[in-house]
Amino acid sequence: MRDPKFMIRNLTKSYGEYPVLERINLDIEAGAFCTLVGASGCGKSTFLRMLLSQELPSSGDILMDGAPLPQQPTPDRGIVFQRYSVFPHLTVAENLIIGAEFAARKLTGRLFGRARKKARDDVAELLETIGLSPAANKYPSQLSGGMQQRLAIAQALTMKPSVLLLDEPFGALDPGIRNDMHELLLDLWKAHDITIFMVTHDIHEAFKLGTRMLVFDKLRDDPHAPEAYGATITYDLPIDLSAAPLPGANGETDETDGMNFSAALMATAPVP
Ligand SMILES: Nc1ncnc2c1ncn2[C@@H]1O[C@H](COP(=O)(O)OP(=O)(O)OP(=O)(O)O)[C@@H](O)[C@H]1O
Pair (234, 103) in one structural domain: no
The percent of residues above 90 in pLDDT, for the chain, comes to: 59
Closest-CA residue to 53 (of 79, 15, 34, 81)? 79
Atom of ligand 1 lying closest to residue 227 CA: 29
Atom of ligand 1 lying closest to residue 43 CA: 18
pLDDT mean over 50-55: 96
Which residue owns the Cα nearest ligand 1 atom 17? 45
Pair (225, 95) in one structural domain: no
The percent of residues above 70 in pLDDT, for the chain, comes to: 84
Query: Residue 240 — φ and ψ, nearest 5°?
Result: -90, 110
Pair (67, 174) in one structural domain: yes
Question: Alpha helix locations (H) across the chain?
Answer: 44-52, 92-108, 113-129, 145-158, 175-192, 203-209, 258-268
Q: Where is the domain boundary, 159, 182, 216?
A: 159
Residue-wise DSSP of 144-183: -HHHHHHHHHHHHHHT--SEEEEESTTTTS-HHHHHHHHH
Helix axes 113-129, 92-108, angle to 10 degrees: 140
Confidence at 248, pLDDT banded by 50, 70, 90: very low
Pair (148, 186) in one structural domain: no
Least confident residue range of 54-68, 100-114, 123-137, 191-205: 100-114
pLDDT in the model for residue 251: 42
Residue 107's contacts (CB-CB under 8 Å, 6 or more residues apart) are: none
pLDDT mean over 19-33: 95
- With 90 as the cut, is the pLDDT of residue 240 above it? no
pLDDT in the model for residue 252: 44
How many domains is the chain partitioned into structurally? Answer: 2
Cβ contact 172:83 at 8 Å: yes
Pair (59, 177) in one structural domain: yes
pLDDT in the model for residue 84: 76
Pair (170, 254) in one structural domain: yes
pLDDT mean over 212-236: 87
Pair (183, 270) in one structural domain: yes
Q: Say which CATH number the domain at 259 has.
A: 3.40.50.300
Pair (108, 193) in one structural domain: no
Pair (208, 270) in one structural domain: yes
Q: Which of 11, 13, 14, 15 for mutating ligand 1's site (highest number of atoms within 8 Å of CB)?
A: 15
- With 70 as the cut, is the pLDDT of residue 143 above it? yes
- As a whole number of angstroms, the distance between CA 200 and CA 170 comes to 8
Confidence at 229, pLDDT banded by 50, 70, 90: confident
pLDDT in the model for residue 172: 86
- As a whole number of angstroms, the distance between CA 177 and CA 237 comes to 27
pLDDT in the model for residue 269: 44
Pair (169, 92) in one structural domain: no
Least confident residue range of 130-139, 173-182, 184-193, 235-244: 235-244
Paired residues of 4 in beta bridges: 29
Buried b (16+ CB within 10 A) or exposed e, 226-255: eeebbbbbbbebebeeeeeebeebeeebbe
Q: Is the pTM of this model over 0.90?
A: no
Predicted complex ipTM = 0.96
Report how far ligand 1's centroid is from the alpha carbon of 174 (Å). Answer: 25
Q: Where is the domain boundary, 120, 135, 159?
A: 159
pLDDT mean over 210-238: 88
pLDDT in the model for residue 134: 95
pLDDT in the model for residue 222: 76
Q: How many residues does the chain have?
A: 272
What are the pLDDT digits (tens) for 119-132?
Answer: 888 889 989 989 99
The pocket around ligand 1, CB under 6 angstroms, is made up of 15, 20, 38, 40-46
Pair (250, 176) in one structural domain: yes
Q: Where is the domain boundary, 159, 180, 205?
A: 159
Atom of ligand 1 lying closest to residue 49 CA: 18
Q: Which domain holds residue 243?
A: 1-76+163-272
pLDDT in the model for residue 254: 44
Pair (90, 71) in one structural domain: no
